[in-house]
Amino acid sequence: MAKQETSGLDNQTPFESFDLEKLKSVFLKSIPVVIIFLAISLFIATLAIRYTKQLFQSNSILQLDIKSDAKVFGFKSFDDDINNLAREIEIIKSRLFLSRVAETLGYDVSYYKYGDILYEERYPGAPFSVCIIEASKSAYDRPIDLEILDANHYLLQYDEGSTSSKTYNFGDTVVIRDCTILVTLPNDYHPYLNGRYFFTLNTETSILDYINRSLSVEPLDFKANTITISFRDYNKQKAQDIVHAIDTLYIYYTQLEKNKANKQKINFLNEQLTQTERKLGELESYFEEFTIDNKTTDLGANLSKTIVMLDKLDSQKYNLQQKIKAYNDAYDQIINESMDDFNPTSSLFPDNVRGEIDRLVTLLEDKRAILSSYNQNTFAYQKKEQEIAFLKERLISSIEATRTRLYENLDDLMSRRNQLESEFVELPSKRTEFSKTRRYYGLYEEFYLSLMKNKAEFELAQAGTVTEYRILSPASSPGEPISPNKIFYYGIGLIAGLFLSMLYIGTSYLLHNKVTSQQELERMSSAFVLGTIPYYPFDKTKGTRLVVNDKLKSEISESFRSVRTNLEFLNGKGKKPILAVTSTISGEGKTFVAANLGGIISLLHTRVVLIDLDMRRPRFQEVFESTDVSKGLSTILINKHSVEECLHKTELEYLDYIPAGPIPPNPSELILGGEFEALIAELQLKYDVIIIDTPPVGLVTDGIHALKIASIPIYIVRAEFSKKSFIKNINRLVKVHKLSNLALILNSTKRASNGSKYGKGYYEESPVSKKNKLKKLFQS
């Protein structure tokens, strides 16, 4: 027994403390709560799905046709594709591009309709139209309520510190909240449009924030150079329109950017062409002036011609100098009248001069001849002198005029020669400059033709510009909303319900302090378990009753037979057993067990007597309806009545009982007195088995004395009713009061199925209706 005591409740390992039967019992009892938890969780999930605004997503796929010339060893770098996609993604997500999208969409005003709980955006096809005439910053991004009253009137409500409302006519200009607006109705107005709405005037910043917040641009496949554009919104059509606008504008934007580059190149080429044309014009003017100035464009031939002209001028100069010398000599000779060396045949003088000179020479000879014969005073001599003087004067005058002309001719010739010499010196530099200019002209002409060719190519490229992006999948029309996800919400609801159920079951298991099974009782207690009694659903209004005689083949009768057999092994042969049945508190079924145990033993034709020792709360009058409570054990112990007077017969032939009698003021003293033991001895002479129904030992100590004098003390534990702490009381009784032969009976156990281990239908039980089964299930 000492070994059994050490294996009690205080020395259990965690593994040993786990009880599958207890868990099963807790689970069965928790089924209603589990159903309620699951129902509430799924109901909350249904409400969440119903009143959560549906979120839709539209997607499109774009592909970039990347032509990368940067290759390493003939292989394109994979990082280039990533960088190109990343660059394009950032362009799409940039506020500059999104501002163009917002401008295209024209979401200056947003329209919403109030519902019972939620509100929805009316897009497309708003029931009314708001035109912003003038508005300050304070009027934007704030809701303005509008209620359509009829085809001509509407109620406008807004907040300006306090709520203001006023009725207006459609088509009237309205000034509210620092803004001027015009509200109109469509031509196809219908009364069903009446209702409460509100609208907001959107700033560009709020529109950009709204688009940027719901826009997702991500790479789809780096190898295929594809990106996916997604947009989420509570309005499926709006989501699709925004994605379509982004696709369309991005394609147009990229094409515009490519055309912009070509246009800039064409503009640059035009500027270069203009400058080149101007330069070519300047060079052509130079060639014209050069040709006019130099009378030729062949400076080599002109150089040779200049040399010939210089030689010719030098020859002319020499002739002129010779003539001048001859005229000077002739002048001197004529003045000096020394004509002896004069050569009249010189070709330098003209014929008339030469004739005059010849005549002068003749006159001088004649003068000398006359002077040799005559003196100077003679008439002939004087006449000759006059002729000579006249001729000399005429010759000198002619020579001076000719000499002056010759000097002028010489000066003119020298001037011409000097000019030719200067031109001759300048001719090489002019030739170099001309050649250089001609080369420049050729380069500019070639450059001009190249510019014209490039311009034509870029104009052709601009005319045939195709964007590098193409739409593989246009903006999709959202079908099912991505949120709320019904499966997810119901899954979360189911998981929450299961979690709460498991938490409840786990908590109930941990907080469950009731004995549930025979295995648990055997593990916790140091006493011997005599058997188990199944739950019997008797009528509570009738109280405890004798059931073993009603259905001899019932499960409960068989359970009592099993206990009876175990008692025979405990008692041994030739001994009249004294059984004392007790429990910790009332309600554990000790009276029910004592009465039916006596009944099942009496069926063996063994004389059995039942004694109701619980004089504080007698129970035999509930078991045996004909009980006379005016006399019984209490009156026997005070010697007021005899045993025969207090014995009562039952419906079983061999079963008698002694009720408790009137409730005495001192039941403990009566039990501890010698009269009780004398009563037991007297009853042993007449009966084979004595069964004492004692008071609960957990409440009073009256029954401990009966347990000590009993040959087989029996302790009743009720499944799902008796607390585990009661087992400590049982172990204490065994240890303190030396009740080593104490036996336990587990009462009111739940069977796993209809019938027992022998199978369904073995026992003769009343059929249980579905309603009773359901009731029993919820009572488990």
Q: How many CB atoms lie within 10 A of CB 53?
A: 13
- What's the average model confidence in pLDDT over 145-174? 85
pLDDT higher than threshold 70 for residue 741: yes
Confidence of residue 146 (pLDDT cuts 50, 70, 90): very high
**Per-residue pLDDT, 526:** 81
Tokens of 373: 């014969």
Asked which of 24-28, 432-436, 771-775 is least confident by mean pLDDT, the reply is: 771-775
> Rounded to an integer, what is the distance from CA 709 to the centroid of its chain?
82
pLDDT computed for residue 35 by the predictor: 93
Q: What is the pLDDT of residue 183?
A: 92
Nearby residues of 207 by Cβ (< 8 Å), 6 or more positions away: 102, 107
Q: Is the pLDDT of residue 778 over 50?
A: no
State how far the Cα of 417 lies from the Cα of 401, in Å rounded to an integer.
24
- What pLDDT digit, counting tens, does each position of 406-418 carry? 888 888 888 887 7
Residue 762's pLDDT band (boundaries 50, 70, 90)? very low
The pLDDT assigned to 774 comes to: 44
Query: How far, in Å, are 6, 525, 724 from residue 3 at the CA level?
Result: 5, 11, 20
Residue 134 has pLDDT above 80, yes or no: yes
Q: Check whether 333 has a pLDDT greater than 60.
A: yes
Rounded CA separation 629/403 (Å): 198
pLDDT of 36 reads 93
pLDDT of residue 434: 67
Could you report the per-residue pLDDT of 486-508, keeping only the tens digit for each? Answer: 888 899 999 999 999 999 888 88
pLDDT of 428 > 70? The answer is no
At 354, the amino acid letter reads R
Place of tokens 């007698």: 618
Separation between Cα atoms, residue 558 and residue 93, nearest integer Å? 83
| 307 or 495: which leads in pLDDT | 495
Q: Is the sign of the CA dihedral 366, 372, 374, 378 positive or negative?
A: positive
**Burial of residue 638, with CB atoms counted within 10 A of its CB: 0-12 exposed, 13-18 middle, 19 or more buried:** middle
Cite the DSSP H helix spans in 346-485.
351-373, 379-463
Question: Which pLDDT does position 767 carry in this prediction?
Answer: 47
Higher pLDDT, 343 or 728: 728
Which is more confidently placed, 6 or 173?
173
Please report the pLDDT score of residue 295 as a whole number.
60
Q: Can you tell me the mean pLDDT for 701-710?
A: 83
User: What is the per-residue pLDDT for 495?
Assistant: 94
Find the range with the poorest average confidence among 203-207, 457-461, 677-681, 711-715: 457-461
Q: Are 492 and 44 contacting, i.e. CB atoms less than 8 angstroms apart? A: no
Give the torsion through C-alpha atoms of 665, 668, 669, 670, to 10 deg. 80
Tell me: pLDDT of 710 over 80.
yes
Is residue 484's pLDDT more than 50? yes
What is the rounded CA–CA span in Å between residue 284 and residue 445? 11
Residues for the chain: how many in total? 780
User: Distance between CA 567 and CA 675 in Å, rounded?
Assistant: 27
Mean pLDDT of 357-361: 76
Pairing relation of β-strands 608-612 and 655-658?
Answer: parallel
Instruction: Judge whether 545 and 677 are in contact, CB under 8 Å.
Output: no
Could you tell me which of 214, 213, 241, 253 has the C-alpha nearest to residue 476? 241
Confidence of residue 343 (pLDDT cuts 50, 70, 90): low
pLDDT at res. 303: 63
Q: Are 107 and 164 in contact (CB under 8 A)?
A: no
The whole-number average pLDDT for the span 154-181 is 84
Q: How confident is the model at residue 70 (pLDDT cuts 50, 70, 90)?
A: very low
- The average confidence (pLDDT) of the chain is 80
SS3 740: coil
Q: Are 471 and 60 in contact (CB under 8 A)?
A: yes
pLDDT band at 74 (very low <50, low <70, confident <90, very high): very low
Ranked by mean pLDDT, the top range of 82-91, 298-307, 427-436, 645-654 is: 645-654
More confident of the two residues 384 and 148: 148
Confidence of residue 60 (pLDDT cuts 50, 70, 90): very high
Is 50 exceeded by the pLDDT of residue 701? yes
* Residue 300: per-residue pLDDT: 57
pLDDT at residue number 106: 86
Integer Cα distance of 357 and 359 in angstroms: 5
Mean local confidence (pLDDT), 718-737: 84
- The residue whose two tokens read 């591009």 is 97
Among 39-43, 237-241, 414-418, 716-720, the range scoring the smallest mean pLDDT is 414-418
Hey, how many other C-beta atoms are within 10 angstroms of the C-beta on 39? 12
The pLDDT of residue 543 is 55
